[in-house]
Amino acid sequence: MSKTFVLAPDSFKESMSAIDACHAMRTGIEKIYPDARFIYKPMADGGEGTIDALLFALQGEKVAVTVTGPLSHQRIDTYFGLIDEKQTAIIEMAKANGIDLLLPEQRNPLLTTTLGTGELIKAALDHGVKKIIIGLGGSVTNDGGVGMAYALGVRFYDQHGKNITFGGGSLHQIDKIDVSGLDTRLQHTEILIACDVNNPLIGKNGASYVFAPQKGANADMVELLEANMQHYANCLSNHFKQNFHNIAGAGAAGGLSTGLLAFTNAQISAGAKTIIQEIELEAAIAQADYVFTGEGGIDFQTQFGKTPLAVSQLAQRYQKPVFACAGYIGAEIDHLYQHGFSAIFGILDKSCDLETACQNGAKNLERTCENIARVLKQIH
């Protein structure tokens, strides 16, 4: 009887998309199990590859759109996805306002804006969707979602009654929030925030202190961004009579998560678990003999909801062997074996620089999966 392999990797950043990783896994395994049945379930956790993974799994379509980039003078040609008979839109904020859209010397969270993400949401609403899934990974912004809200009709006025400028450096100017122009279609639209962090908006574990340095902020800028975000949180709390300072996950994407919670019907959902539900991974694993997953790196952070962990926990529920492959394996992974992993493999064949490792990623993943399959063939 032929074996069934479920292939559910995330992307290997700068090396392979999740779909490419599925192909490489299959090529390796098929050398040993030529009659095997393969079920592709390319994964994501709300970051890079979320749209493509869902469109592949659910046979959706891309919708091209031009929006504002991370800097307010930029225009970016990008896209969002439609699935579920065009009733659900998939948006990656990084497709409009992501860190990879700026050169390192251009990155400045005092100036970068989520305006383009709001324009993507508006474009999805124009297509008549009833549900929007927004992946928040890979942002270069720290504006609390103010730009996004502006695109959807919210206005933020300073003490002189003028619109504040875009970027995290202007949040301290907010004196009044006017939601009278907010797009009314949002009231009837379900919005899921797919993210893989649980950081709050404010504080040492919040958006500014933890993530702003990755987005170009120096120490002084971080302090300024934190003070501005404190003011913004106070303004939101006063306006909505609700505390926005310490909500788990509200610090994602420089506080874009907070803006979505404040101005839409959004709910936060663990990114990988959201994707698992949408692509019906559980049903596939239930009929599998073996499950393969992986991503660019597996280390102590994997325990905090990264794709391989979510896949492994689901496989464990069905007592299915699950094998994880990674470009590198970091420290403190022993505890991961408590969550269903049968084995975790690094795929590099020799020491090399990052560029070489990325170039050879598919070949290395193929060889590693072939070797795993050889062992499985011997013992089963």
Look at residue 19 and tell me whether its pLDDT is greater than 90. Answer: yes
Where do you find CATH 3.90.1510.10 in the chain? 50-272
Question: Which CATH number describes the domain made up of 4-42+289-379?
Answer: 3.40.50.10350
The per-residue pLDDT for 301 is 76
**Which of 175, 172, 170 is closest to 158 using CA atoms?**
175
Measure the CA–CA gap between 27 and 40, rounded to whole angstroms.
13
Backbone angles phi, psi at 74, to 5 degrees: -85, 150
The secondary structure of residue 162, as a DSSP letter, is P
**Which of 150, 158, 154, 160 is closest to 67 using CA atoms?**
150
Name beta bridge partners: 131.
Answer: 88, 190
pLDDT per residue as tens digits for the range 333-351: 888 899 999 999 999 887 7
Over residues 139-163, the mean pLDDT reads 98
Q: Which H, E and C letters describe 2-44, residue by residue? A: CCEEEECCCCECCCECHHHHHHHHHHHHHCCCCCCEEEECCCC
Measure the CA–CA gap between 309 and 21, rounded to whole angstroms.
17
The per-residue pLDDT for 302 is 83
Tokens found for residue 254: 């420089």
Q: Which CATH architecture has domain 50-272?
A: Alpha-Beta Complex (3.90)
CA-CA distances (angstroms) from residue 304 to 197, 268, 270, 293? 8, 15, 10, 16
Look up the pTM and report it.
0.88
Where do you find CATH 3.40.50.10350 in the chain? 4-42+289-379
Q: What percent of the chain has pLDDT over 90?
A: 81
Provide the mean pLDDT of the chain: 94
pLDDT per residue as tens digits for the range 227-274: 999 999 999 999 999 999 999 999 999 999 999 999 999 999 888 888
